[in-house]
Structure 1
């Protein structure tokens, strides 16, 4: 059974990608950034989705 990683916050993804958090919000509006999910009122990212998105950019 695969162990699930905890979801990343916007700030954690911003640090991982080396971009401002505001850039992630802009990308989300333009539908060009890594896929994000709403958890209640919070925006969260699956780490494997972020890593896959980075690989696709190369």
Structure 2
């Protein structure tokens, strides 16, 4: 069996709140507001820094997707 080697010692790369903002096209303030309301993707709090795993962002985005036009998703709630 061959082990899969990934950057950073096998850990999934984490993105900053700015990276997430750029990725989904939403202002940082909106992401911070979602965090206060318990919405948005789950994050890691490392010291004073918030970091997001790409897998968590993908999972959260799939919950935000409408099943058909005009049908409300779960609105990204955790």
Structure 1: state its 5+ residue gaps. Answer: none
TM-score norm. by structure 2 comes to 0.68
Of structures 1 and 2, the one with the larger relative CO (CA 8 A, separation 6+) is 1
Compare the two structures and name the one with the higher helix fraction.
1
Structure 2: state its 5+ residue gaps. Answer: 66-78
TM-score norm. by structure 1 comes to 0.89
CA distance, structure 1, for counterparts of residue 58 and residue 23 of structure 2:
10
Corresponding residue of 2:59 = 52
Count matched residues: 58
Q: Name the Cα RMSD after superposition.
A: 1.3
Structure with the greater alpha carbon radius of gyration: 2
CA distance, structure 2, for counterparts of residue 48 and residue 40 of structure 1:
21
